[in-house]
């Protein structure tokens, strides 16, 4: 793997009016790495993801600092400059993908359309779809179904398959498991871990459950009131949280760390 980070964030801050709602002083994510962002509601997690993916352009948000994705500066970049990164090199996986998928299209068609939009020839698209479906553990027969005909866990695997088949190198997932049952949550997070290792994408995963996400993350950022209050290797944060707020989050976690935690 190359030594260049996929994502390099320096002094990122997002403000609405005179209120700064999200800041990340420094963050680098290498290929194959999983970084978790946790913190209470309103702490600025989603805002940080949106800023990193360049999705706050044209909104009331004032974004400052530097976000380099695969060497391209995202802060202040035009839509045109971001287009080569969008979808194919960086992708967003949302909490409830079912709600954002076209309900009148079968899953297979949704994948084919996305690949076509990104200029992937039809024959290669079929091979990529088969590969990505297998990689996320979905039965290919499921691609015949409409979005409402699959479970939440299957829909989340599908959303991940979409990012995988487009070949995304930075995948940001905003609470990908919060809408799922506890057992399915861990399955999906384990999938993220395995895909990061096997495929080498860099992952940013926003989560509520610090103990749970720490099991699969390399690095954890804990946010509160728009600031990073703790940042460190997941194992260290889990075993020896330094900030009182991190300890409170761990105590409130519905999942206690197991002996198998990373």
Least distance in angstroms from the C-beta of 1 to ligand ATP:
30
Please, which residue, 95 or 154, has the CB nearer to ligand ATP? 95
* DSSP assignment of 119-149: T--HHHHHHHHHHHHHHTT--GGGGGS-GGG
Nearest CA to 41 out of 213, 217, 207, 181 is that of 207
Please, which residue, 174 or 218, has the CB nearer to ligand ATP? 174
**Whether the Cβ atoms of residue 163 and residue 174 lie closer than 8 Å to each other:** no
Please, which residue, 39 or 147, has the CB nearer to ligand ATP? 39
Choices 42-50, 165-173, 183-191, 244-252; region in contact with Mg ion by CB under 5 A: 42-50
Least distance in angstroms from the C-beta of 24 to ligand ATP:
12
Least distance in angstroms from the C-beta of 224 to ligand ATP:
9
Cα 49 to Cα 45: distance, rounded to the nearest angstrom:
6
Nearest CA to 208 out of 174, 233, 183 is that of 174
Site string for ligand ATP, 3-42 (x = CB under 6 A): -------------x----xx----------------x-xx
Please, which residue, 46 or 133, has the CB nearer to Mg ion? 46
Least distance in angstroms from the C-beta of 62 to Mg ion:
19
Please, which residue, 108 or 152, has the CB nearer to ligand ATP? 152
Please, which residue, 129 or 207, has the CB nearer to ligand ATP? 207
Helix (H) or strand (E) holding 231: strand 227-233
User: Does the footprint of Mg ion cover residue 177 (CB under 5 A)?
Assistant: no
Among 13, 23, 46, 246, binds Mg ion (CB under 5 A): 46
Distances (CA, A) of 88 to 169, 191, 203: 8, 20, 14
Cα 205 to Cα 189: distance, rounded to the nearest angstrom:
9
Least distance in angstroms from the C-beta of 227 to ligand ATP:
11
Tokens of 159: 């959303």
Cα 60 to Cα 15: distance, rounded to the nearest angstrom:
9
| 90-93 sheet: strands from edge to edge | 90-93, 170-174, 202-207, 34-39, 219-224, 227-233
Among 45, 89, 128, 157, binds ligand ATP (CB under 6 A): 45
Site string for ligand ATP, 56-85 (x = CB under 6 A): ----x-------------------------
Please, which residue, 43 or 133, has the CB nearer to Mg ion? 43
User: Does the footprint of Mg ion cover residue 47 (CB under 5 A)?
Assistant: no
Nearest CA to 188 out of 95, 72, 259, 114 is that of 95
For residue 44, the tally of other CB atoms under 10 A from its CB is: 23
What are the residues binding ligand ATP (CB under 6 A)?
16, 21-22, 39, 41-47, 60
């Amino acid at each position: 793997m190359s030594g260049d980070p996929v994502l390099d964030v320096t002094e990122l801050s997002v403000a609405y009016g005179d209120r700064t709602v999200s800041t990340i002083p420094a963050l680098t994510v290498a290929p194959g790495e999983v970084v978790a962002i946790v913190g209470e509601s309103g702490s600025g997690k989603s805002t940080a993801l949106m800023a990193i993916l360049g999705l706050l352009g044209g909104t009331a948000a004032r974004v400052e600092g530097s976000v380099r994705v695969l060497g391209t500066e995202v802060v202040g970049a035009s839509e045109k400059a971001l287009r080569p990164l969008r979808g194919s090199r960086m992708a967003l996986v949302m909490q409830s993908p079912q709600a954002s998928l076209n309900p009148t299209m079968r899953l297979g068609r949704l994948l084919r359309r996305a690949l076509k939009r990104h200029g992937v020839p039809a024959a290669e698209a079929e091979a990529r779809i088969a590969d990505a479906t297998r990689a996320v553990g979905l039965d290919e027969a499921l691609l015949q179904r409409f979005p409402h005909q699959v479970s939440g866990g299957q829909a989340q695997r599908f959303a991940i398959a979409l990012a995988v088949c487009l070949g995304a190198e930075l995948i940001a997932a905003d609470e990908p498991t919060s809408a799922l049952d506890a057992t399915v949550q861990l399955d999906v997070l384990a999938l993220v871990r395995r895909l990061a290792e096997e495929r080498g994408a860099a992952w940013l995963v926003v989560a509520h459950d610090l103990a749970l996400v720490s099991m699969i993350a390399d690095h954890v950022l804990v946010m509160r009131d728009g600031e990073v209050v703790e940042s460190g290797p997941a194992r260290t944060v889990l075993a020896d949280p330094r900030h009182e707020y991190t300890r409170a989050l761990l105590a409130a976690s519905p999942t206690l760390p197991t002996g198998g935690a990373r």
